[in-house]
């Protein structure tokens, strides 16, 4: 089983990124025959237009993934733009991608519906995603349920190419990530940079504690019994607490007679403990920039070998060749 996933470097990773996706990507490296994980900086160009920020976000994203448990001896980690074969493959796929298919893609439709400007990068974004997946003959692509359309579009584009030029691409399958890992934001909505309601994984613990203490809670009397599941503080606490701690907290909610300040303090303490090992690893990695460059260079070199072979296969299939 060959697994592939990419993550955009559009800012610091937050709890939603980690519990909703990254943690599950890292678990897959243990069972996959091969695993490819990349920092999708080409995709990020559709939203990040500051060169210095994009470079920093890209490096930070790589450091964060390593600190959170990605093992370069088990998985190939690289930066998307370091594999130019993918961009060339994207053009081959673009020539056969139906306009109607791209117009139906959610990311494009949503932006148009909101009256926002949509550039060619956003419109053709799904084709680059398809190239990302097909370049490595990926069998499995872990995605959230709301992203399953991307895999379906990739399969449609691959089928179109295979129909015109013969069997060329492996047909990938989407692996739906555990939906129970939904992470609420500070306002109770889904945690997202778009809503400005996030808790950063590697935020300064003191700053994050202040964020947590400002979470708005309901006005029910302290003595009332409360159902824990569905409460923002409890749901966040459940992500970073041990099983025994979760059980004790749930019992406290149902018993009543507590203050939310008590819960917020427990949440901040549990979060600090949970991410402390990763925070230490991150500090060590950040102090060794040469090591990071070597990991990314080795990952890109391995990824390029695979992408070159796929690109060559596609070029030959559609009549392009080295003269």
Does the annotation count 111 as an active-site position?
Answer: yes
Determine which one of 111, 265, 308, 312 is catalytic: 111
Helices (H), 32-147: 41-44, 51-67, 85-94, 99-103, 106-113, 120-134
CA distance 174 to 140: 6
Angle between the N-to-C axes of helices 260-286 and 205-213, in degrees from 0 to 180, rounded to the nearest 10:
150
Determine which one of 109, 117, 173, 193 is catalytic: 193
Sheet of 140-143, strands arranged across: 76-79, 34-39, 2-7, 140-143, 173-176
Determine which one of 190, 265, 308, 312 is catalytic: 190
DSSP assignment of 157-179, as one string? HHHHHHHHH-S-S---EEEE--G
Using CA atoms, how far residue 177 sits from 5, 18, 117, 127, 146, in Å, is 12, 12, 31, 22, 10
Does the annotation count 190 as an active-site position?
Answer: yes
Give Cβ neighbours of residue 31 (< 8 Å, ≥ 6 apart): 1
57, 44 in Cβ contact below 8 A? yes
Does the annotation count 173 as an active-site position?
Answer: no
Show which residues are catalytic. Answer: 111, 190, 193
């Amino acid at each position: 089983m060959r697994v592939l996933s990419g993550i955009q470097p559009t800012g610091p990773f937050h709890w939603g990124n980690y519990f909703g996706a990254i943690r599950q990507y890292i678990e897959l490296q243990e069972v996959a025959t091969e695993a490819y994980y990349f920092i999708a900086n080409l995709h990020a160009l559709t939203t990040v237009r500051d060169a210095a920020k994009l470079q920093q976000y890209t490096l930070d994203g790589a450091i964060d993934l390593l600190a959170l448990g990605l093992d370069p001896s088990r998985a190939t980690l690289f930066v998307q733009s370091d594999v130019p074969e993918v961009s060339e493959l994207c053009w081959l796929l673009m020539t056969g991608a139906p306009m109607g298919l791209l117009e139906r893609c959610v990311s494009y439709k949503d932006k148009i519906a909101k009256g926002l400007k949509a550039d060619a990068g956003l419109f053709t974004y799904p084709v680059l995603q398809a190239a990302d997946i097909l370049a490595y003959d990926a069998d499995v692509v872990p995605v959230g349920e709301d992203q399953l359309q991307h895999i379906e579009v990739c399969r449609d584009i691959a089928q179109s190419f295979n129909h015109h030029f013969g069997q060329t691409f492996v047909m990938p399958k989407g692996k739906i990530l555990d939906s129970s890992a939904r992470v609420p934001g500070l306002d109770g909505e889904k945690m997202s940079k778009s809503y400005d309601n996030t808790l950063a994984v590697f935020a300064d613990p003191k700053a994050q504690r202040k964020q947590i203490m400002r979470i708005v809670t309901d006005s029910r009397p302290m003595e009332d019994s409360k159902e824990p599941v569905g409460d923002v503080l409890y749901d966040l606490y459940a992500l970073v607490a041990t099983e025994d701690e979760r059980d004790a907290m749930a019992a406290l909610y149902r018993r009543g007679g507590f203050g939310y300040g008590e819960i917020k303090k427990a949440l901040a303490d549990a979060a600090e403990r949970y991410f402390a090992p990763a925070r230490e690893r991150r500090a060590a990695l950040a102090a060794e920039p040469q090591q990071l460059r070597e990991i990314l260079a080795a990952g890109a070199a391995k990824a390029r070998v695979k992408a070159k072979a796929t690109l060559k296969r596609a070029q030959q299939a559609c009549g392009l060749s080295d003269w």
